Structure 1
Amino acid sequence: MGRRSRGVNHAAQMSREAGGSKDSQKRRRLHWSEFSRFAARIGHTLETVNEAEDWMLEFFVWFLVAGAMKPGTLANYRASLSVIQGTTGQDMSRSTRSRDLQLERRDRRGRHRARTQQEFNDLLAAAQALDASVVHVIRLMRWLGLRMREALMCGKSLETWRDLILQGDLRLPIERGAKNARPRRTEVLADHVDETLEAINAALAYCRDRDFELVSGCHSGLKSAKSRLKLRFDQLPMRRELASHSLRFTYAVDFANAALDRGVPPVDVLTQLSDRLGHGPSRVKMILEVYCRQIRHRFPEKIQLPSDFVPRQRTRNLQRSATGRPDDQLQGDGAAPRRRGRVHGRRVKINHGGKQTKHKPY
């Protein structure tokens, strides 16, 4: 094994220790591999992650910019390198800040929007005629604000969700398929408890005899099921502003409208919504500009949203949540983010042909 290959393997090991989904770990490794190849071209072969220096990262960023890489993709590259180096105790994020390098910032607003009730009903009718399994995924995404992967993998959580709702608890844990393997809790909209419970019961009845898999592909496993679901979304069609992510936008708009109608302070609305969507309580500015763009007029024109917002510690004190339920109050001046520990889990063995020899069902 050559020196550069050892460096890429070391980066892959650091990525695994940093945690996250397998897709995230794979992307980090590929991004580091490109950086390592670039460093070798300028005469520096990296055998370990620690051998990377600030100026190499800055040169690599300008190399990507010269190749007309889009700001969003460039930000993903820098984030991957930062996570890998952070695992070794390095902090080189300051050397590649967009503001310091005068780079174009990505536009996070996107092109999705919330669906109207009629558009949602038409989508359900089209999905029913195409594939009944897709109907359950769509309804769960809309009423719980789930990502596509979360809805695809939630079959084994449906009974727990049903029991919690029947007990009066509207905060539901999302433990399977969460982005970067970060478990979160969504919240059932108080005005749509019946619709949500009906969607959960229907999905549970459908997948109970199918090993709790809502969608099954041509082959066993998550990858095949995800490919089939994406194909069905394209056939409906669910594209552009009304792609599958528009269902999360619909949930977000309903959540925010319900909160504002109940008199919840605007900043608290954005903080709670960010937490329910799985972005954490610190992404309030992005939530306002992206998910609440259609109802921006309901928020103050000048709203105090500090750019260095730090999630505050939770206590057992209670306040009213956006949907009228008691919620954990956020208080305190702030706390440093908790460092993710080493993640232990089963690995999928790969032979020399690149095929998986162990199958881990989703």
Structure 2
Amino acid sequence: MGKLGGEMKALAKKAGGSFKTVDDRIHIVQRFGRYLRSLNIQIQRVEQIKVRHIECYIQARLAQQIGKRTLQNEMSALRAVLQHAGRKQVAQHDRLTNKALGLAGASRNGTNRAITSEHYQQVLAAVRDKDVGLSATLELARLMGLRSQEAVQCCQSLKMWKQALERGETRLTVVFGTKGHRPRETVILDAGAVKKALDNALSVAEQRDGRLIEQPNLQKAMNYWRGALAEAGLTGNYTPHSLRYAWAQDAMHHYLAQGFSDKEALALTSMDLGHGDGRGRYVVQVYGRHEEE
């Protein structure tokens, strides 16, 4: 990895955030380090990184036709690392703004699609043949709108969720794997289906020492989750997040059917997803895209 790579990885971790945010940031700085090495740029410390190095990196990524939103995220990661290294002057340099780099004006519209019922059933059948624990996790992710890390860690909440259902509660609390480690509450859209999925998941977990996915650590469990679902058909415009997209659309329809206005339904769905009540427009842009678009 080298001195630069090791230092940047340590700073990427120090910058904080959710597991996924930190993991993505590490991959970004490693990619940046490989780019510098490919040009034989001899840099050993973060303090030696210059504005022109980052400018050239972004231009090279644009030439590879990498999307502007992706590159905005990459710049955010690089800025975070530079800030934590005490390189505020470089991180906030006029030449490294999104506008100066040609990254301004990128759309926040979601690139994925909400999974259709037909495609979901195909994926579920393929996964069930491979691993019943994985299929149980997949079902809960679709029925509760779980993020990937929430789904992978959901085995820790199965008993709590079942007890909540038995008490007749209409919402379930998601604790493990949430973004920023902030617990969130999500509405139960189909109590019967959720109960059936929980009973199945608990049965599998009892046979696996409390686990649904049999992997030695969270990182390997996440890799297994993504890889196995990709093999089962969640590729291209369909990803594990497509399950959450579909759930979000179901939630919006649920609230509208209860008589809430469009604005209220969006705010409630946004809170269920863990985004807060002020991100209704974001929910429409990112989660509201339909298969026919």
Cα distance in structure 2, aligned partners of 1:234 and 1:173: 28
| Matched residue SS, 1:102 | coil
What is the aligned residue count?
Answer: 286
Residue in structure 2 matched with residue 245 of structure 1 by the alignment: 241
Cα distance in structure 1, aligned partners of 2:166 and 2:260: 26
TM-superposition CA deviations, 1:116-141 (whole Å, max 9, x none): 3x554555455444432232112101
Shift of 1:192: 0.9
Cα distance in structure 2, aligned partners of 1:167 and 1:275: 22
Cα distance in structure 1, aligned partners of 2:267 and 2:25: 28
TM-superposition CA deviations, 1:297-342 (whole Å, max 9, x none): 9xxxxxxxxxxxxxxxxxxxxxxxxxxxxxxxxxxxxxxxxxxxxx
Find out whether 1:192 has 2:193 as its counterpart. no
Counting helix residues as a fraction of each chain, which structure ranks higher? 2
Cα distance in structure 2, aligned partners of 1:225 and 1:103: 34
Shift of 1:295: 10
Cα distance in structure 2, aligned partners of 1:136 and 1:27: 30
Q: Name the aligned partner's letter for residue 214 of structure 1.
A: L
TM-score, normalised via structure 1 length: 0.64
Find out whether 1:266 has 2:262 as its counterpart. yes
Find out whether 1:61 has 2:58 as its counterpart. yes
Q: CA RMSD in A?
A: 3.7
Cα distance in structure 2, aligned partners of 1:40 and 1:272: 52
Cα distance in structure 1, aligned partners of 2:122 and 2:65: 40
- The 3 A distance-change label for structure 1 pair 271 and 79 is farther
Cα distance in structure 1, aligned partners of 2:7 and 2:278: 31
Cα distance in structure 2, aligned partners of 1:35 and 1:271: 42
Stretches of structure 2 that go unaligned for 5 or more consecutive residues are none
Say if 1:271 and 1:283, in contact at 8 Å, map to a contact too. yes
TM-score, normalised via structure 2 length: 0.77
TM-superposition CA deviations, 1:205-252 (whole Å, max 9, x none): 2102312221225xx334444454445434543334444332212211
Cα distance in structure 1, aligned partners of 2:272 and 2:249: 12
Residue in structure 2 matched with residue 175 of structure 1 by the alignment: 175
Q: Name the aligned partner's letter for residue 113 of structure 1.
A: A
Q: Max radius of gyration: which structure?
A: 1
Say if 2:248 and 2:287, in contact at 8 Å, map to a contact too. yes
Shift of 1:81: 0.7
Identical pairs, percent: 22
Residue in structure 2 matched with residue 348 of structure 1 by the alignment: none
For residues 112-151 of structure 1, what are the structure 2 equivalents within 5 Å?
112-116=113-117, 120-121=120-121, 123-151=123-151
Stretches of structure 1 that go unaligned for 5 or more consecutive residues are 298-362
- The 3 A distance-change label for structure 1 pair 212 and 242 is same
| Matched residue SS, 2:111 | coil
Cα distance in structure 2, aligned partners of 1:222 and 1:62: 35
Residue in structure 1 matched with residue 210 of structure 2 by the alignment: 212
